[in-house]
């Protein structure tokens, strides 16, 4: 079983006083590469008609600025040949659709036309179980201080092999934390996501979610989380190695994009920490 959510390990740090010399490293910049973040999430209890796909370009190593991929033509087509157009919000990386029709088990095809090249991917929309319960307990942490731990539970479908992406948004942290898990050893049982952090305190509200995902997206996110685990914990930060997704460049296979095309339900619960 993979870690259900990223565990936060706190290490004591000894500060040494010494002379410092600033060293500037001259890094050459590669040609910008297209990044396609095409993650369609159907929030339970909504129509799912409002969806966003993000298109950007890789940027200089020393900046966090987002470079929008302007002027792309983005469509998603279902098996009935219904075409859903995603239109760019001017001068942003966001391409939005207001009439998308999510159907569990339906197959969708993504097509992106950008800078004279065509990018495509195909995937199925996956179902997601409901979050059925949230529990809280206080335990003694590494430094002897009390730490609040949260578990949230969901029922696995025992009729098939399942994979899940779990996410926690803590208002005391700038970015969400992610984890992936399979039902390999829990087929048909109740499973749970676990979250413990010293930055969890009474009175804050945690955003807890579970999302059914494909095996391919499970493997993809698992690699991103492992890479990000030693840094910020953000799987969408620039990784030190290139991880290819499921989107192909049909015009020039050598100029492959970064990112992934995935569709699924998502269930979210807001939990007030006691």
Domain boundaries, the chain: 34-126+238-266, 131-228
**How many CB atoms are closer than 10 A to CB 193?**
22
User: Looking at residue 5, what is its pLDDT?
Assistant: 38
Tokens of 125: 């929309």
What's the predicted TM-score (pTM) here?
0.83
Distance CA 223, CA 228 (A): 9
Report the pLDDT value the prediction gives residue 13, as an integer from 0 to 100: 31
Greater confidence, 255 or 62? 255
What per-residue confidence (pLDDT) applies to 204?
A: 97
Q: How far apart are CA 247 and CA 223, in angstroms?
A: 17
What local confidence, expressed as pLDDT, does residue 198 receive? Answer: 87
Classify each residue of 37-51 as buried b or exposed e, where b means 16 or more C-beta atoms within 10 Å of its C-beta: bbbbbbeeeeebeeb
Per-residue pLDDT band for 246 (boundaries 50, 70, 90) equals very high
- Assigned CATH topology for domain 131-228: Immunoglobulin-like (2.60.40)
User: Which CATH number fits the domain 34-126+238-266, given the four candidates 3.30.70, 1.10.10, 2.60.40, 1.20.58?
Assistant: 2.60.40
* Residue 163, token pair as written in the block: 């994979």
Tell me, yes or no, if the two domains 34-126+238-266 and 131-228 fold the same way. yes
Residue-wise pLDDT tens digits, 6-36: 332 222 333 333 344 544 555 456 688 999 9
Mean pLDDT in residue range 183-207: 95
User: Does residue 54 sit in helix, strand or coil?
Assistant: strand
What is the C-alpha to C-alpha distance for residues 221 and 138, in angstroms, rounded to an integer?
Answer: 30
200 pLDDT higher than 70: yes
Mean pLDDT of 242-255: 94
pLDDT at 8: 29
**Max mean pLDDT range (65-69, 178-182, 196-200):** 178-182
- Which pLDDT band, with edges at 50, 70 and 90, does 226 fall under? confident
Q: What integer pLDDT is reported at residue 73 of this predicted model?
A: 98
Average pLDDT of the residues in 215-244: 74
Which CA distances in Å does 260 have to 13, 80, 197, 246, 267?
Answer: 37, 23, 29, 6, 20
Mean pLDDT across the chain:
87
């Amino acid at each position: 079983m993979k870690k259900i959510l990223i565990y936060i390990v706190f290490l004591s740090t000894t500060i040494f006083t010494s002379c410092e010399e600033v060293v500037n490293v001259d890094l050459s910049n590669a040609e910008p590469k297209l990044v396609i973040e095409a993650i369609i999430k159907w929030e339970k209890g909504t129509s799912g008609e409002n969806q966003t796909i993000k298109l950007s370009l890789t940027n200089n190593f020393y900046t966090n600025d987002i470079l929008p991929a302007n002027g792309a033509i983005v469509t998603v087509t279902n098996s009935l040949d219904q075409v859903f157009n995603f239109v760019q919000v001017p001068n942003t990386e966001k391409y939005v659709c207001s009439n998308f029709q999510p159907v569990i088990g339906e197959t969708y095809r993504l097509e992106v036309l950008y800078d004279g090249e065509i990018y495509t991917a195909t995937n199925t929309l996956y179902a997601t179980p409901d979050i059925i319960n949230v529990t809280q307990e206080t335990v003694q942490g590494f430094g002897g201080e009390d730490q609040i731990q949260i578990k949230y539970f969901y029922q696995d479908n025992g009729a098939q092999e399942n994979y899940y992406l779990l996410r926690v948004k803590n208002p005391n942290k700038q970015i969400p934390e992610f984890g992936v898990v399979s039902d390999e050893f829990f087929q048909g049982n109740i499973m749970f996501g676990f979250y413990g952090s010293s930055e969890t305190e009474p009175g804050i509200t945690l955003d807890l979610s579970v999302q059914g995902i494909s095996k391919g997206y499970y493997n993809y996110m698992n690699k991103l989380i492992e890479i990000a685990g030693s840094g910020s914990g953000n799987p969408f930060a620039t990784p030190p190695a290139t991880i290819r997704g499921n989107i192909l460049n049909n015009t020039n296979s050598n100029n492959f994009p970064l990112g992934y095309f995935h569709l699924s339900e998502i269930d979210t619960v807001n939990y007030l920490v006691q």
